[in-house]
Amino acid sequence: MEYRQIGQSGITASAITFGAWAIGGWMWGGADRKEALEAILASYELGVTSIDTAPAYGQGLSEEIVGDALKSLPRDKVQILTKYGLRWDMQKGQHFFSSKFNDGSPLEVYKYAGKESVIEECENCLRRLGTDYIDLFQIHWADPTTPIEETMEAIVELQKQGKIRAGGVCNYTADQMKVAETVVSLAANQVPYSMVFRDIEKEVVPYCMENKKAVIAYSPLHRGLLTGKFKPGQSYNDGDTRESNRFYTAENITRTNAFLDTIRPLAADKQATLAQLVIAWTLQQPGITIALVGARNAEQATQNAKASEIKLSAEDLTFINERLGKLELVF
């Protein structure tokens, strides 16, 4: 496993980090708690020391499962990344979207990151995780109803109290990062990035590279689309939002699979799965520090971790990129 610095925070994390969204079950059609716990522990045994979670993932469930895993792991050798700024327990801030709890009851989510709310959320995260500090505390989505400066003042206070080691952001533009930087030194920006969704290459990645901020790429497999396992007419569990996602139309699945077929021989040559090849590609893109990869069970976690063993040459990258350049999705 390769380990990389998260900006200038002094935190070293595994280049492949366990993404704990799916194990919360929410928006993924459910999850098995025992298998989720086994997935985290299997990842750690293969060098995945970093875990990214959030209160919103299962409305606390993901963090609780991570907390259970921490009971079996040396806390000083694990990096916990979690978030704040999405509230389902108060109607304040900007309404984000309507969904359902894992039990099927109505769920309303709001973007809110007022100073007192951030501090309260930190306490809730610490309780669910069963720890006394968080390595990287990140705003989940920008809250347009609260000045960025106010939100970041809470991060400065939490750092002074020793409850968090560093502050980061998620889904921030470069301009939003600049405003945050007037109050606190950010360690990272966690943003969506995959072979089929590369918008951050325009502004976010150049800004982070120039200012020595880590880029934490989430959904590098695009929620499974880039594994080659999805077929047109795919069936989904209740509550799985991929069914209505624009990337998961029959046409786009067909086109993506056609592209994946062109790089399948390279994966075979590397004795790797398509997913492992995609993860390796992601980690070798300019400015990308960490790839967050989710797993529901130990087998998936093991396969993800082993992607760190795959090395791609300049020729390999050119081979992939030339074929990727010919992929056109329909929106």
Catalytic residues: 57
Q: How far apart are CA 102 and CA 59, in angstroms?
A: 9
Six token digits for residue 210: 């120039």
Identify the three-state secondary structure at position 289: coil
Six token digits for residue 278: 């995609």
Number of residues in the chain: 331
Q: Using an 8 Å Cβ cutoff, are 108 and 52 in contact?
A: no
Q: How far apart are CA 258 and CA 228, in angstroms?
A: 9
Q: How far apart are CA 129 and CA 64, in angstroms?
A: 6
Report how far apart the first and last C-alpha atoms of the chain are (Å, whole number): 37
Across-strand partners of 294?
19
* Alpha-helix residue ranges (DSSP H) falling in the chain: 33-45, 61-70, 115-129, 148-160, 174-180, 204-210, 250-269, 274-283, 298-305, 314-324
Q: How far apart are CA 2 and CA 149, in angstroms?
A: 34
